[in-house]
Amino acid sequence: MRSRNLIRAVSEGWLPEDEMQFLRDGANKLRFWLDGHKPDPLAALRGFSLLYLHAAAGEKERTQVLELCRFVAGETQEEPSAPEMNPFLDGLWADLQDKRIGLLLERLNAKNSLTHSLNPEDFVSGLDDKRLEGLYENKMEGQNIDFFVQKLPFPLEVLDPRIVRIPPGKTNELHRHAHETVFIFLQGSGHVKVDDVKIPSKAGDFVFIPRWCRHQSVNEGEGEMVFLAVADFGLTGKSFLGNYLKTARMKPSKT
């Protein structure tokens, strides 16, 4: 599964340019080694170091590794298909995941307090907080979409709570994403669609949004609908290989 994800990520352009360059640099370094130059395993991804050892097993293995290098470098569209290469592709996938979330895991296991301030006000926010950052908005009259999203002013690493505001009679986008979320309704009333389930919602309700379900919030009240969407975006946004925002938003955004 992981090996196939890596192949698709490369062939379908899921990876951002810096990560593609990361892989291309590793593949080029590996080919440099295979041309007879002294290997430096510390100078490349662990997965490429293991591929170098695989290539040393024989001409067949060397050919497989060179084909993979050409694929990663964009010199061929032919995807590697040898099953014996899957463990090495799994290793490259794990290297990319470690590059994305390794520092977060290190900070988690360090057991050091991440208290960021001695000012009590820096730990509190509210709907009228001037520090709330406008994050995303979309208006599409033909689809009755009108909503605005604000980001809370906390230095969070895993949780990413956001305030969503929807005017009367309007909705947000029907969308889906990798992060799971809990909606905490603060104002207004209406319902939330979760796949084929219609869930009535009002101030004081909590609504669970599972990963990858198609969901949409609809304001059926006379006032503004406001809810706090608490998600683990800080983790899933780093873990998901591909353009994460395209899974959740209908138009480009700054974040």
d(CA 172, CA 248): 11
Which pLDDT belongs to residue 6? 87
Enter the tokens of residue 37.
């130059």
Q: Which domains does the chain have, with CATH numbers?
A: 2-109 (no CATH), 120-247 (2.60.120.10)
H-type alpha helices, 126-230:
none
pLDDT of 248 strictly over 70: no
pTM: 0.83
Enter the tokens of residue 4.
């196939």
Cβ(70)–Cβ(76) below 8 Å: yes
Which pLDDT belongs to residue 241? 72
Each residue of 21-61: pLDDT tens digit? Answer: 999 999 999 999 999 888 876 666 788 889 999 999 999 99
What amino acid occupies position 26?
A: G
Each residue of 126-185: pLDDT tens digit? Answer: 999 999 999 999 999 999 999 999 999 999 999 999 999 999 999 999 999 999 999 999
Q: E strand or H helix at 149, and its extent?
A: strand 145-151
pLDDT of 209 strictly over 90: yes
pLDDT of 255 strictly over 50: no
pLDDT of 243 strictly over 70: no
What Cα–Cα distance (Å) separates residue 221 from each residue in 30, 140, 144? 62, 20, 15
Which pLDDT belongs to residue 4? 81
pLDDT of 254 strictly over 60: no
d(CA 137, CA 226): 14
User: Going by C-beta distance under 8 Å and a sequence separation of 6 or more, which residues neighbour residue 8?
Assistant: 14
What Cα–Cα distance (Å) separates residue 28 from each residue in 15, 32, 36, 65, 80? 18, 6, 13, 12, 17
| Confidence band for 240, pLDDT divided at 50, 70 and 90 | confident
